[in-house]
Structure 1
Amino acid sequence: MSELIVRALGLVDYQPTLEAMRKLTAERDADTPDEIWLLQHPAVFTQGQAGKAEHLLAPGDIPVIQVERGGQVTYHGPGQLVGYLMLDLRRMGLGVRELVTAMERSLVDLLASYDVEAAPKPDAPGVYVNGAKIASLGLRVRRGCSFHGLALNVDMDMQPFQRINPCGYSGLQMVQLSELVAQPVSIEEVAQRLEQALRKQLGFPQA
């Protein structure tokens, strides 16, 4: 199995992170290690390549950035754990659908470790708890390598989700981990558990 580098980046601006992710993907070769970045972003809406303007209801003072991932509009903000997966899928022998399934299973396993029962939906990518969405997925694959990834609502201001149709679904209920557990949740702890879950599902050794 090839090497995996996991970077905990903390709170970082969206645009420079996006450009760094694109650069790594554009410049990597068959020997470049796979990387997973775990981080948070300041408040930003991102509009996927198929995104429709009507799903941006009232962005207000929050910037909107067009990106090349799949999916519609979503919100990122402090207290949401974002995971970017820069993986050589050809080297791993993985198809895009298999990667999406591995990401969904990782999130389900992570949430189960907090005694939260979650599940994916076959017709709407992401992970849901009692019909409310707790995690969003959006990927891009270029030259057999993935970038972009997932976003898990941990302990954040949920109000900006009301300014959009999340992922293009009008009235979609959003939920976060802090609302589902009795004890306070640490995003650093959640990030560590997510890393372990992703390593397991993707076949990388545990750190």
Structure 2
Amino acid sequence: MIISQSRSIKIKTLGCQEYTQIWHAMQNFTKSRTIDTPDELWIVEHPPIFTLGLNGKILYIRDTRGIPVVHCDRGGQVTYHGPGQIILYTLLDLKRRELGIKVLVKMLEQSVISLLQSVDLYGEPKINAPGVYVDNKKIASLGLRVRKGYAYHGLSMNVAMDLSPFSYIDPCGYPGLEVTDLKSLSVNLNPEEVGLDLAKNLAKQLESK
């Protein structure tokens, strides 16, 4: 469903979808897009799955407990996706926007930080560990891929989920890294509502550049 559309950005909510289905859809979208294709932001949740980035090391997964593992083409190490975590996939033409990957990362982090500020929480990034943290616990992760100037993959934010699978891995390759979600921080929001907020915040930053 298209929630919002401008000349340059479409925001779509896709509900709960299998990871590989969405991953391949992003690849196909990126391969087939032209210089006139509007950018899109996809809001989605996934059934339980561990994903490893391009250089991801399987040793960071200590136990799967039956949860599938997928090697994908984003940057970064291992993370977990599951219901109650919102994903914002960013299908963007970086060349057309004259946008560097570091600036995009900062925009994604700022989208999360602004949302946290709206519910009176303080979030901050870390230089050597991309993402957003509250009290040194990770609440949002980043993983991107750029192909011929086109970006895809994006941002995940923990809203109200079962966090236990994170204890089966070394999140993002960091042993002992703690994670949290909004529910654990006494904030009760619907994941789709959070996704729309993140998407609109990012779109505003992109369109104001």
Runs of 4+ in 1 over 2 A off after TM superposition: none
Match of 2:189 in 1: 185
Contact 1:103-1:198 within 8 A present in 2 as well: yes
2:175 aligned with 1:170, yes or no?
yes
Q: Given the alignment of the two structures, is residue 198 of structure 1 paired with residue 198 of structure 2, yes or no?
A: no
Equivalent residue, structure 2, for 1:54? 59
Alignment of 1:13-32 (within 5 A): 13-32=18-37
CA deviations on 1:46-96 (whole Å, 9 max, x unpaired) are: 000111111011012100000011000000000000010000000001001
CA distance in 2: counterparts of 1:117 and 1:12, whole angstroms: 31
Partner of 1:63: 68
Give me the whole-angstrom Cα distance separating, in 2, the residues matched to 1:123 and 1:16.
31
Secondary structure class of the residue paired with 2:20? helix
Distance in 2 of aligned mates of 1:129 and 1:119: 7
* Conservation of the 8 A alpha-carbon contact between 1:56 and 1:163: yes
CA contact (8 A) 2:43 2:192 kept: no
Q: Does 1:40 align with 2:45?
A: yes
In structure 2, runs of 5+ residues without a counterpart are: 1-5
Rounded to whole Å, the distance in 2 between the matches of 1:193 and 1:115 is 15
In 2, Cα distance between equivalents of 1:200 and 1:121: 23
Q: Aligned pair 1:156/2:161, yes or no?
A: yes
CA distance in 2, matches of 1:10, 1:50: 29
- How many residues matched? 204
Range that drifts further, 109-118 or 153-162: 109-118
* Runs of 5+ unmatched residues, structure 1: none
- What CA deviation, in whole Å up to 9, does each residue of 1:147-180 have, x standing for no partner? 0001000000001001100000000000001111
Is the partner of 1:82 in helix, strand or coil?
Answer: strand
Contact 2:43/2:196 (8 A) holds in 1: no
The alpha carbon displacement at 1:203 in A equals 2.0
Preserved contact between residue 89 and residue 153 of structure 2 (Cα < 8 Å): yes
Tell me if the contact between 1:50 and 1:70 (Cα under 8 Å) persists in the aligned partners. Answer: yes
Letter in 2 for 1:197: N
Q: TM-score w.r.t. structure 1 length?
A: 0.95
Whole-Å Cα distance in 2 between the matches of residues 69 and 199 of structure 1? 21
Matched, 1:110 2:115: yes
SS at match of 2:130: strand
State the percentage of identical aligned residues: 47
Letter in 2 for 1:21: M
- Aligned-residue Cα RMSD (Å) equals 1.4
Q: Measure, in 1, the Cα distance between the counterparts of 2:11 and 2:100.
A: 21
Question: Per-residue deviation at 1:111?
Answer: 1.2
Q: Distance in 2 between matches of 1:204 and 1:6?
A: 16
Q: Is the 8 A contact 1:4 1:204 kept in 2?
A: no
**Where does residue 122 of structure 1 map in the other structure?**
127
Instruction: Identify the residue that residue 145 of structure 1 maps to in structure 2.
Output: 150
SS at match of 2:193: helix
